Structure 1
């Protein structure tokens, strides 16, 4: 039986792959036109033009043409295999490198006619198929694999690698490591990492709480090279989930990075999706797939630091790769990436808040070892230390001496510098100077309505806009507003499309929660009764998870 790479039925003037590696053919004189085709395709993608731009020449093999778009991680392999296949089978396979995220976006847009799509799409992960409703994507065959493992500095791997490998993806559920991630929106590696962390955290409210805690403070990187450079930071050992291929390629380029292999890991699966319905092109696509699975095709996979679909490293073992890949951690399923993208976006929302803190006489009541006022100010100070620098925060207190409330620090980014330092520093200073006053009461209802309207008028899309009320039992008896009037005004002002929510926390026993719940319900907010420090820390841990599922059983 002839090899798929045997040089038969090839025109006498045929050549190998052109030096640009952009578009391949089986005849001579293609180099200049191949370069033109590649440039045209790139411009078309960048400008969002009306379809795929694939340049074809009039060749002896024109009636055996096929267009292939391949992710950059595997495109060099496809180019080499297609070049030999073109020679052997008198085919005209044209291979173009195409970023998987961009390609998925174009194919999911719904405005691409069948003749403007590639005949074959090879993404780096089947996760990109979410949202792409085309025949062929769900039946795609994997042509390669690369497990997603942990990248560390060589020193970090020597000190912590064995323990990290043993604990695997659950290692980030405490503060032993500093988790880094690639941005999961444009990166299949980043999305695969998120899904692995979620699968390890488990299901239900407890799993979501653990998952959100793992991701707290994680700022994703858009570039693997820059992310690897950031692993040299001091402090807790930094760990970056990356594909095995990326780590070993970066090592070959001289970067100081080591792969740590957990017992189980998800993998990029490089699906071969045949999108064309044309029978002739489907036969060519099947032939190219066979060539990729041949011994020579597998050898070319290994030159790109890729494993076979079954995880075989082949000759890469001599370069240091483990012969077998980690056991599979299955995270790819229809809809998984789409759902996780929504979860991630909610978790990454910034916060814009005005905190209203009660300094009435009621807060002088004891709560544990201190007063309610001391517990509240301590909680607010601790909470501020957990917020990102781009959080926008302001502080009011109620009641004031002659007014219902007092504005202490106006809303703005915590990092913003003023005459006395950052806004975060000013907030902490003002919180530290707050003192409860005997015989002082009221102000809460007036403060809530004015703070709510201020945030509504200056609403920021893409952020959580929230009035945060910390009270130790102030009543509304001396307010200009009654409870019923406040609730009516809030319901009138509430806009579901531009939500400003009110979250109220009542500190200590005996605080009447009924009016607080009415206020919260008027704005789709929440009211919590805080009776001890442990309950408060549980609520803090729930805070990010509540962005995803507002019905979590956090301490109400």
Structure 2
């Protein structure tokens, strides 16, 4: 009956029916594009097209600059298979993308040069707009971090390159870029923290110097390799770089740099494909298609030709006459440990503003164990002189001595030197020279009891009053006894209450206490904890030097309990 009715329909009825059928087809097609995202395969309604009629905007992909053109070329194959799989690729430094993601300005897909940048895009981190973790779908290519050795430089590396740990912490010339900006230096620095922390003065001093003279990028390091006058150290020193970047540089500047791989292993750039966690269905479909295109055999071959290695770390470029070598891949540390390592860099990079409070009570004449007969006072003198000589020029340091009535009746402390920059002119030399000269008279100050609590309260108040926001402000107390003040003064409970009352979160000052001999370690620990500081024990010069570096590391804003 229906067929009969159709056959006998008037022209106007036929037109209406045709319009309805056509509309149904259009609606069905629209539903396919929205429901499926873009569809897949050659049978899709927009396969091979220009993208007309697609419901989703092009997928915004931000890729590390050295890989951006390759990515653009390979993603074109995904668009060829399905015209609704469209991509806009821009080359952007990984550190910049990580920063913008935290600000809520995220791309649809991110190809960082290293997975370690995802440490900064986890949900819930302080000051971040990230609502859900960014997670890698997999890596597109690999390139190990090597040491670029300047062949014609007097600072070139010679001998066996054992590890990043050895080179960065102990000996040998090396120039790092800022690990907050540059991935190769970031990975080399993280490798140097494997199984270690900066607890000795020599290692701490090296990190301080490396951080102060850090370049802003690998590009700046390469510029310095070609012309040392353009380096911020005015020298051409070895530096970390990805194998692929070094190979690319060597094409136009042969014979300048040679790659070296550490015997104990290295990390690699791994170029993760990281889709935003909140993509629409259509963009998820395009992202999946893009990842398939970028991990296809053709894409792997293209990456290899460009100097990258595959997922098994095989292949790799020949640089000069050095063929790509096999290497040990270091196991990455957990994200929390990596971030803690970077905190060490930041802490040591910043200048310290420190008031050292030195116990000169009579008990400091006692012999310190394991020192060959040295008194506690001599140990303190020697270690303080060494520390002051090694601190960076920009550090502000001053000192008080204390026992009882050193500043007059009822005042237990007296100034040794004012707080000033170590490189500030003083007399015929510098403030550093003045401190050393004062410390060499340490033995002449000895005598009296231990007015610890009143001195601590006054020192904390003084450092809070004179707080400098450009520095990490701290009080470092070295003592060998318990509070013993014949003139009375504060008890421990009163001191702790006073410290708590005086705490200003906008002017954080941390108290670090170092106990020698029979020091009241329990009381010292309570004093430090009241300001968010740390407490240590030390009896030898080496112990004290180690503690001073730990005090430098303990420089986050203090929090009142």
Compute the TM-score of the two structures, normalised by the length of structure 1: 0.71
Separation in 1 of the partners of 2:150 and 2:248?
15
Query: Is residue 395–residue 408 contact of structure 1 (8 Å, CA) maintained in 2?
Result: yes
Equivalent of 1:396, from 391, 400, 410? 400
1:127-186 CA distance string (max 9 Å, x none): 22332568894241211111112223226799745511xx22342486222454332223
How many residues are aligned here?
477
Q: Which residue of 2 aligns with 1:37?
A: none
Q: Which residue of 1 aligns with 2:217?
A: 223
Q: Which residue of 2 aligns with 1:176?
A: 171
Q: Which residue of 2 aligns with 1:71?
A: 64
Is 1:317 matched with 2:306? no
**Mapping of 1:435-514 within 5 angstroms?**
435-437=443-445, 440-441=448-449, 444-461=452-469, 463-471=471-479, 473=481, 476-479=484-487, 481-484=489-492, 485-495=494-504, 498-507=507-516, 509-511=517-519, 513=521
Structure 1 residues 274 and 538 mapped into 2: Cα distance closer, same or farther (>3 Å)? Answer: closer
Structure 1 residues 161 and 145 mapped into 2: Cα distance closer, same or farther (>3 Å)? Answer: farther
Is 1:129 matched with 2:130? no
User: How far off is 1:259 after superposition?
Assistant: 1.6
> Which sections of structure 2, spanning at least 5 residues, go unmatched?
1-48, 124-130
Structure 1 residues 444 and 238 mapped into 2: Cα distance closer, same or farther (>3 Å)? Answer: farther
Range moving further from structure 2, 94-103 or 129-138: 129-138
Q: Which residue of 1 aligns with 2:390?
A: 386
Structure 1 residues 385 and 438 mapped into 2: Cα distance closer, same or farther (>3 Å)? Answer: closer
Separation in 1 of the partners of 2:261 and 2:554?
33
Query: Is residue 357–residue 396 contact of structure 1 (8 Å, CA) maintained in 2?
Result: yes
Q: Which residue of 1 aligns with 2:184?
A: 189
The 3-state SS of whatever aligns with 1:425 is helix
Separation in 2 of the partners of 1:137 and 1:525?
34
Structure 1 residues 82 and 474 mapped into 2: Cα distance closer, same or farther (>3 Å)? Answer: closer
Aligned-residue CA RMSD (Å): 4.1
Query: Is residue 200–residue 546 contact of structure 2 (8 Å, CA) maintained in 1?
Result: no
Query: Is residue 373–residue 436 contact of structure 1 (8 Å, CA) maintained in 2?
Result: no
> Which sections of structure 1, spanning at least 5 residues, go unmatched?
1-58, 551-556
Range moving further from structure 2, 101-110 or 379-388: 101-110
Equivalent of 2:149, from 130, 147, 152? 152
1:529-555 CA distance string (max 9 Å, x none): 43333433443464456569x9xxxxx
Range moving further from structure 2, 449-458 or 527-536: 527-536
Q: Which residue of 1 aligns with 2:266?
A: 265
Separation in 2 of the partners of 1:137 and 1:501?
36
Is 1:61 matched with 2:12? no
User: How far off is 1:346 after superposition?
Assistant: 4.5
The 3-state SS of whatever aligns with 1:121 is strand
Compute the TM-score of the two structures, normalised by the length of structure 2: 0.71
1:6-51 CA distance string (max 9 Å, x none): xxxxxxxxxxxxxxxxxxxxxxxxxxxxxxxxxxxxxxxxxxxxxx
Query: Is residue 140–residue 272 contact of structure 1 (8 Å, CA) maintained in 2?
Result: yes
Q: Which residue of 2 aligns with 1:25?
A: none
The 3-state SS of whatever aligns with 2:437 is helix
Separation in 2 of the partners of 1:454 and 1:227?
43
Is 1:244 matched with 2:243? yes
User: How far off is 1:97 after superposition?
Assistant: 1.7
Q: Which residue of 2 aligns with 1:138?
A: 135
The 3-state SS of whatever aligns with 1:152 is strand
Q: Which residue of 1 aligns with 2:416?
A: 408
Structure 1 residues 306 and 62 mapped into 2: Cα distance closer, same or farther (>3 Å)? Answer: farther
Equivalent of 1:426, from 431, 434, 445? 434
1:386-410 CA distance string (max 9 Å, x none): 3222222112223536363332322
1:273-324 CA distance string (max 9 Å, x none): 344745555555455444434555345424543223332336x338556445
Query: Is residue 151–residue 240 contact of structure 1 (8 Å, CA) maintained in 2?
Result: yes
Query: Is residue 259–residue 319 contact of structure 2 (8 Å, CA) maintained in 1?
Result: no
Query: Is residue 512–residue 535 contact of structure 2 (8 Å, CA) maintained in 1?
Result: yes
Separation in 2 of the partners of 1:489 and 1:135?
43
Q: Which residue of 2 aligns with 1:106?
A: 100
User: How far off is 1:412 after superposition?
Assistant: 2.6
User: Which has the higher Rg, Structure 1 or Structure 2?
Assistant: 2
